[in-house]
Every structure is written in structure tokens, then in C-alpha cells.
Amino acid sequence: MTQTLRFKQSSHLDPALSDPATRTLNADKLIGRWVNTNSETQGIAEIVIQRDGEEFCVSAAGVGADCPIAWPPTRARVLANLEEEAGQRAVALAATFEFGFMTAETYLRINKGVLVIVLFSTFRDGSGRSNYVNREFYYRQQ
Amino acid sequence: MQFTQICDWVDIDAASAGAIDRAGLIGAWVNSNPNTKGVARLLVAESKGDLSVRAYAIGPDGLIDWGTADVTVFGSSPASRVAAGFTCRYDFGFAETLLQGMILKGLIVLAQFHSFKDDSNRVAFFVREYFALDHGRF
């Protein structure tokens, strides 16, 4: 029996979305310790991505005034990637870090061997700081 | 002031603290990929102080109007007062879509996160596409 799929755009009907292999395609390319390509960054210095079966966990270290600030490990959502990027298609991750005074929503993907992180920060502390978006690049620490 | 990265430790002048200038987001944005199977056009508009997005996506039989969604605006830094990105959410019942837009070199780079809530067993997926402002000058 065939199922009628509901959709809001044609890509919702892509047969690859029903292929279990799509869920974890090249996921291992994300695993490891990633270091910011910008040695002068004042943002996230490094990212660690770990995998346990089909689950992924992301932790980070922000640049602090005196020493790195550990961001707590957060479970990431795995997202199939329907794009072809230089023939290196791999899953992407979405992870939300909750700090109380601030929420950081991130998505992480691989592009040509570089980990690209886009971070949307939302402040909830009435400090007057603007919510902001930032993008940084990371290389794999061997 | 609390922070988890030193770039968030900024002096905020109370006189300058306030809303982000959203003018750079407003307009009709067109997908640069004529063969897209996703969002084709975004209309970003301001009404009575609120910013909203109306998305149109490619369907098998033509454009599908997603309707409007409220927008959260982001600057480029904690001290910035100029829009550099936005997020909005659509709940279609059978699926949810989060749109995250970021302005880069005059383009909106739109990341789309699609999650299915029905029993179709489709995997959540991610798409990133580029949108140019339909400025009508040339």
C-alpha cells in the first residue's frame, strides 16, 4: 500500500528522505575536535562533536577573559543534507545551548573539510545587548 | 554582565540601546537557483512595527504560499544596531520548518530546517540557499 505524502514544497517529496541511509550519510566527517581557524577569535575557540550510535553530542569552549569557558555538552539534532557540496555531502547538526541569560542556537555543517558554524545568540537578561548572528570556521585537530 | 565568550562582554550605552534597524531586510528576495525545489521567494515586510516573512515555495503544480510568519531579528554583534539576520518558524501540522537567514555580501543565505511530525518516516533535513534582493533597478 502506498502512502500519500503531504508537502509544502517539492523537496518534501524527495525519495532520499525515506532512505534510512540519508539520516547518517558521512556523519563520521563531523566527529572530532575542531579548532577555530581564526587564532584571534573572541568567540568559540573549539568544538568537540561526539557520536553514540545515531545520536550526536556537541560541546564547545568559548574564549574567556583569562581562560576558556566550557559550554556544557548538548545533544544535537541530525539533519539530512540534500545538497551536493563539492561532492562531499554529509549530514548537518543543529544544537541549542541554554545558559539562562542567553540562548545560542547553532547549526554545524561540513564544507570542503571545514566545519562551518552559524550561531544565533539571543539574550534574555535585559542587558541591552542585541541578539546577533555570527559565523565561524573550524579545522579538524588531528 | 554574564558571558560565555569574550565577544559578548560589551559596553552598552543606554542611550543607544534599543531596537535593531531592520531596513536592510525589507523587500522581495528571490532564490538564485532557478531549479530550486524549495523556497522560491521571500517577502519581508514591516507593519505596525512588526516584521514578518511571507514565503513562497516550489510545488509540483506551481508556487505554494506558506503564509506569513513573525520574524526575530539579529544584529551582527551584541553591540550592533543593524539587522544582519533573522529567524522564523512555520508549523504546517505534518511538518515544521525553521528558517534562519543571514545577510552576506548583499545576499540572504537562508538555512532551512525541515522536521516531519507525521508517520511518513521521512528524515529531518537541511537546505541552504541564496536569495538576492529583487531591487528592480536594471
Q: Which three cell numbers stand for residue B18?
A: 534599543
Give pLDDT, residue B49: 86
Q: Count of alpha carbons within 13 Å of A27, Cβ hemisphere only?
A: 21
DSSP A5: P
| pLDDT value at residue B26 | 97
Give the three-class secondary structure for A53: coil
- Identify the closest residue of chain B to A121 by CA–CA distance: B74
Grade residue B137 by pLDDT with cuts at 50, 70 and 90.
Answer: confident
A137 at the B interface (CB within 8 A)?
no
Q: What would the grid cell of residue B5 be?
A: 565568550
- List, as one string, the DSSP characters of B103-138: EETTEEEEEEEEEE-SSS-PPPEEEEEEEEE-----
Give me the pLDDT at residue A1, please: 58
**Is the Cβ pair B8, A102 closer than 8 Å?**
yes
Look at residues A39, A56, A59 and name the one whose alpha carbon lies nearest to residue A137. Answer: A39
User: What is the DSSP code (8-state) at residue A126?
Assistant: -
CB contacts under 8 A, A 16-45 vs B, are: 17-18, 20, 22-23, 41-44
d(CA B33, CA B109): 12
CB interface of B with A, residues 5-24, below 8 Å = 5-10, 12, 14, 17, 20
* Collapsed DSSP state (helix, strand, coil) of residue A127: coil
**Predicted confidence band of residue B16 (pLDDT cuts 50, 70, 90):** low
- Say if B127 is an interface residue toward chain A (CB within 8 Å): yes
Q: Which chain A positions have a beta carbon within 8 Å of B10's beta carbon? A: 129
Contacts of A97 in chain B (CB under 8 A): 4
Using DSSP, state whether B88 is helix, strand or coil: strand
pTM: 0.92
Residue B78 makes CB contacts below 8 A (sequence gap 6+) with: A121, A123, A129, A130, A132, B7, B8, B10, B12
Instruction: Find, among A103, A120, A128, the residue nearest to B73 by Cα.
Output: A120
Q: For residues A112 and A110, give the distance between their C-alpha atoms in angstroms, rounded to a whole number.
A: 6
Quickly count: other Cβ atoms within 10 Å of residue A11's Cβ: 20
Asked if the C-beta of B81 comes within 8 angstroms of chain A's C-beta atoms, the answer is yes
Query: Which among A83, A125, A132 has CB closest to B75?
Result: A132
pLDDT at B18 (0 to 100): 73
Q: What per-residue confidence (pLDDT) applies to A94?
A: 95
**Min CA distance, A142 vs chain B (Å)?**
24
Between B15 and B80, whose confidence is greater? Answer: B80
pLDDT tens for residues B38-51? 999 999 999 888 99
- Could you tell me the end-to-end alpha-carbon distance of chain A, in angstroms, rounded to an integer? 49
Its ipTM equals: 0.90
Q: What is the pLDDT along chain A (142 residues), one digit of tens a residue?
A: 567 899 999 999 999 899 888 877 788 889 999 999 999 999 999 999 999 888 899 999 999 999 999 999 999 999 998 775 545 677 899 999 999 999 999 999 998 889 999 999 999 998 999 999 999 999 999 7
Are residues A8 and B90, on separate chains, in Cβ contact within 8 Å? yes
Q: Examine the pLDDT at B55 and tell me if it is beyond 60.
A: yes
Contacts of B118 (CB under 8 A, 6+ apart): A6, B94, B95
